[in-house]
Amino acid sequence: MSQLLGELDPLTDFDRLAKLAKMIDMHAARIGAAATKLRLSNQARYTPQRAANAGTATPADRIRAAYQGGSNES
């Protein structure tokens, strides 16, 4: 590792390091934006009807409905 660091020339490699830092910042921003969009898309699935039915079916009811081919899921 020290051999690789010894071969670095700060004047010629500064531009390359600056480009890498800019690329890392850009990708971090893109990942953050994508994570926000994914979180918001889950929130956008809220409907008052599903919220009203959310607590009515027990886990056993949902399993039973799945075996019977019905849908009691909220």
Tokens (6 digits) for 63: 């399993």
Q: Do 4 and 35 fall within a single domain?
A: yes
Q: Is the backbone of residue 69 left (phi > 0), alpha (psi -120 to 50) or beta?
A: left
Distances (CA, A) of 39 to 29, 34, 42, 47, 49: 15, 9, 5, 16, 21
| Structural domain harbouring 65 | 47-74
Render each residue's pLDDT in the chain as its tens digit; 74 residues: 667 667 767 777 888 888 999 999 999 999 988 888 777 666 667 777 777 766 677 778 878 888 887 554 54
- pTM exceeding 0.75: no
The number of distinct structural domains making up the chain is: 2
Q: Do 9 and 36 fall within a single domain?
A: yes
